[in-house]
């Protein structure tokens, strides 16, 4: 892989990396599409990274669909698939970890201790191996994307981190490799995450900026679905993930909930134009 990367540099090609854990869906393909628009060489990686799973999490049963993934990557015209094995990424005596303090301990990090340390470490390694000018991540995992951006800035990495919009099913459910875990009832109920964010969108459009009011509205919607076990409903600054009481700068409205044993995430991004005009990405 390093040899391939070196050759791309020598030929002055712009390399875009789309790191994935496989079980590819339209969300991943949208990242590849954007990479193809901006780069001359697109590399996708598939690696189910053991260090980002907790001991009681779904590492063993995480969906592995290599043959259909490969077909999708061929259709999407990826120039290179990097498919490392765990023993090569984490050989014996492996012991180096990258952590983004603060950001990594909040929300998802509190519920999944060590998760973001695993994510940061593997992304660091992928960036060093593939040496892309640009790397693409989905906004569905907003905290992950923010942590990776922070890491790239802090460690003076060359790679630009691009965060792409959430792809959704027709009924609004954010695409995720874990959606396949949902049974029919939970699958139907899971749209409540998107609906709770639509409620926030409506309030924001009506000038409500107060975090408590927005969170209450979300809780009201979420409580209508008895199958949803809410982990958190939070409104945070987009850079630090510290809670906001007022949406007065770039912010995420985040929701995490379990349906059966399946944890799902969704979010809405609020930003302000130079003229102070509010924009919403759902």
CA 45/CA 205 separation, integer angstroms: 39
Q: Which of 158, 171, 271, 281 binds its own copies (CB under 8 A)?
A: 158
Are residues 175 and 156 in contact, defined by beta-carbon separation less than 8 angstroms? no
For 204, which DSSP code?
H
Q: Which one is catalytic: 25, 28, 115, 194?
A: 28
Please say which residue, 88 or 224, places its beta carbon nearer to its own copies: 88
**Catalytic residue flag (residue 115):** no
Q: Which of 57, 71, 74, 154 binds its own copies (CB under 8 A)?
A: 154
Are residues 170 and 194 in contact, defined by beta-carbon separation less than 8 angstroms? no
End-to-end CA distance of the chain: 36
Q: Is residue 15 at the binding interface for its own copies, with CB under 8 A as the rule?
A: no
Please say which residue, 22 or 120, places its beta carbon nearer to its own copies: 120
For 93, which DSSP code?
T
Q: How far is the CB of 110 from its own copies (least distance, A)?
A: 16
Q: Is residue 125 at the binding interface for its own copies, with CB under 8 A as the rule?
A: yes
How many residues contact its own copies, by CB under 8 A? 27
CA 232/CA 239 separation, integer angstroms: 19
Q: Is residue 129 at the binding interface for its own copies, with CB under 8 A as the rule?
A: yes
- Classify residue 229 by burial, with Cβ atoms within 10 Å: 0-12, 13-18, 19+: middle
Site string for its own copies, 90-109 (x = CB under 8 A): ---xxxxxxxxxxx------
Q: How far is the CB of 212 from its own copies (least distance, A)?
A: 26
Q: Which of 32, 124, 192, 253 binds its own copies (CB under 8 A)?
A: 124
Are residues 260 and 186 in contact, defined by beta-carbon separation less than 8 angstroms? yes
Please say which residue, 6 or 220, places its beta carbon nearer to its own copies: 6
Please say which residue, 103 or 166, places its beta carbon nearer to its own copies: 103
Tokens of 136: 């693409």
Closest CA to 67 of 126, 18, 22, 1: 22
Please say which residue, 76 or 98, places its beta carbon nearer to its own copies: 98
CA distances from 176 to 9, 62, 122, 146, 265 (A): 33, 12, 20, 18, 9
Q: Is residue 151 at the binding interface for its own copies, with CB under 8 A as the rule?
A: yes
Q: Which of 240, 245, 246, 248 binds its own copies (CB under 8 A)?
A: 240
Site string for its own copies, 55-84 (x = CB under 8 A): ------------------------------
Are residues 222 and 233 in contact, defined by beta-carbon separation less than 8 angstroms? yes
How many other C-beta atoms are found inside a 10 Å radius of the C-beta of residue 234? 22
Q: How far is the CB of 148 from its own copies (least distance, A)?
A: 10
3-class SS of residue 83: coil
Tokens of 275: 């003229």
Please say which residue, 121 or 177, places its beta carbon nearer to its own copies: 121
How many other C-beta atoms are found inside a 10 Å radius of the C-beta of residue 162? 17
Q: Is residue 128 at the binding interface for its own copies, with CB under 8 A as the rule?
A: yes
- Residues with catalytic function: 28
Give the interface with its own copies as residue ranges (CB under 8 A). Answer: 2, 93-103, 120-121, 124-125, 128-129, 150-151, 154-158, 239-240
């Amino acid at each position: 892989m390093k040899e391939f990367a070196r050759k791309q540099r020598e030929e002055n090609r712009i390399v875009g990396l789309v790191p994935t854990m496989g079980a590819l869906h339209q969300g991943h393909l949208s990242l590849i599409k954007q990479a193809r628009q901006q780069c001359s060489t697109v590399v996708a990686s598939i690696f189910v990274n053991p260090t980002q799973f907790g001991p009681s999490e779904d590492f063993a049963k995480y969906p592995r669909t290599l043959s259909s993934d490969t077909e999708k990557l061929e259709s999407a015209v990826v120039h290179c698939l990097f498919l490392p094995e765990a023993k090569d990424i984490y050989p014996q005596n492996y012991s180096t970890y990258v952590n983004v303090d603060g950001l990594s301990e909040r929300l998802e990090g509190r519920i999944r201790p060590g998760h973001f340390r695993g994510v940061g470490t593997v992304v660091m390694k992928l960036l060093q191996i593939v040496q892309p000018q640009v790397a693409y991540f989905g906004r569905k995992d907003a905290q992950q994307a923010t942590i990776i951006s922070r890491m790239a800035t802090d460690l003076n990495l060359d790679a630009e981190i691009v965060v792409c919009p959430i792809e959704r099913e027709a009924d609004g459910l954010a695409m995720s490799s874990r959606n396949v875990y949902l049974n029919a009832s939970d699958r139907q109920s899971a749209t409540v995450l998107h609906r709770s964010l639509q409620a926030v969108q409506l309030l924001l459009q009506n000038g409500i900026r107060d975090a408590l009011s927005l969170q209450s509205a979300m809780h009201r919607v979420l409580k209508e679905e008895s199958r949803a076990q809410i982990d958190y409903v939070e409104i945070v600054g987009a850079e630090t993930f510290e809670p906001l009481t007022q949406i007065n700068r770039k912010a995420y409205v985040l929701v995490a909930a379990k349906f059966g044993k399946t944890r799902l995430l969704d979010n809405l991004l609020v930003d302000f134009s130079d003229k102070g005009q509010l924009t919403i990405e759902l």
